[in-house]
């Protein structure tokens, strides 16, 4: 039997990869829209807008009304979302077991997210994932967001690991692009918010349709 490829550093996107945050994001987004006197959107629609950070999400929700409402929408959303960032969000099946296995086998775990760090850390804490994460990088810690390689390189620097011993798992094309630009092996998570078509178009190193599949393709060392 062929031995699985081994990595010492496992980096993950958060929303749509480790955690299904769409319910809380959609709730905060719709409460924001209603507060502005606009119509709420279906949760599935808001979920399809996730990726690129909260300002991008709100731009997509507001559409042609962005210029008129964005200045009020962003602080309203942040107040609502910060108050309850993980009320109905859930950890994807297989995540906790996989992270425990990876760490038990001697690897380190990083999170590279487009979401503000305080909210990200609060979500990870509330859902019991934080103790399994060694380092987190959000947009405040870098000059450029994904798909620029800087956030991934920042994680590598923080964990004192090299690109060739690392793998980055994400659900968006920007995750795969950032991994490639940083010289890191990529793994596309098709169960998240990005379309499978957009992910496969980036030719990721690995593809998983369920988080539990990850450690059947690679191992930690």
- Using one digit for the tens of pLDDT, what is the confidence trace for 30-43? 999 999 999 999 99
pTM of the shown model: 0.95
Which is the catalytic residue, given 13, 24, 171, 175? 13
Q: Give the integer Cα–Cα distance in Å for 12 and 132.
A: 12
- Whole-angstrom Cα distance, residue 147 to residue 140? 15
Mean pLDDT rounded to a whole number for the chain: 97
Q: Does residue 85 register a pLDDT over 70?
A: yes
DSSP, collapsed to helix, strand or coil, labels residue 13 as coil
Model confidence at 52, pLDDT cuts 50, 70, 90, reads confident
Residue 1 has pLDDT above 70, yes or no: no
Residue range 136-179, pLDDT digits in tens: 999 999 999 999 999 999 999 999 999 999 999 999 999 999 99
> Is-catalytic flag, 13?
yes
Using DSSP's 3-state secondary structure scheme, residue 216 falls into helix
């Amino acid at each position: 039997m062929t031995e699985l490829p081994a990595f010492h550093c496992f980096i993950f996107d958060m929303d749509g990869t480790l955690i299904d945050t769409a319910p809380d994001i959609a709730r905060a987004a719709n409460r924001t829209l209603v507060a502005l006197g606009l119509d709420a959107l279906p949760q599935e629609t808001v979920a399809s807008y996730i990726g690129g950070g909260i300002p991008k999400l709100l731009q997509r929700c507001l559409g042609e009304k962005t210029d008129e409402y964005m200045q009020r929408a962003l602080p309203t959303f942040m107040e609502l979302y910060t108050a309850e960032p993980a009320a109905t969000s859930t950890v994807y099946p297989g995540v906790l077991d996989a992270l425990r296995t990876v760490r038990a086998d001697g690897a380190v775990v990083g999170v590279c997210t487009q979401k503000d760090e305080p909210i990200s850390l609060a979500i990870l804490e509330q859902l019991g994932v934080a103790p399994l994460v060694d380092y987190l990088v959000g947009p405040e810690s870098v000059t450029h967001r994904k798909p620029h390689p800087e956030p991934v390189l920042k994680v590598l620097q923080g964990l004192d690991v090299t690109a060739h011993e690392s793998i980055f798992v994400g659900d968006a094309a920007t995750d795969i692009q950032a991994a490639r630009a940083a010289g890191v092996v990529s793994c596309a998570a098709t169960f998240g918010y990005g379309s499978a078509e957009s992910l496969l178009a980036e030719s990721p190193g690995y593809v998983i349709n369920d988080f539990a599949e990850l450690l059947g393709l690679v191992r930690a060392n």
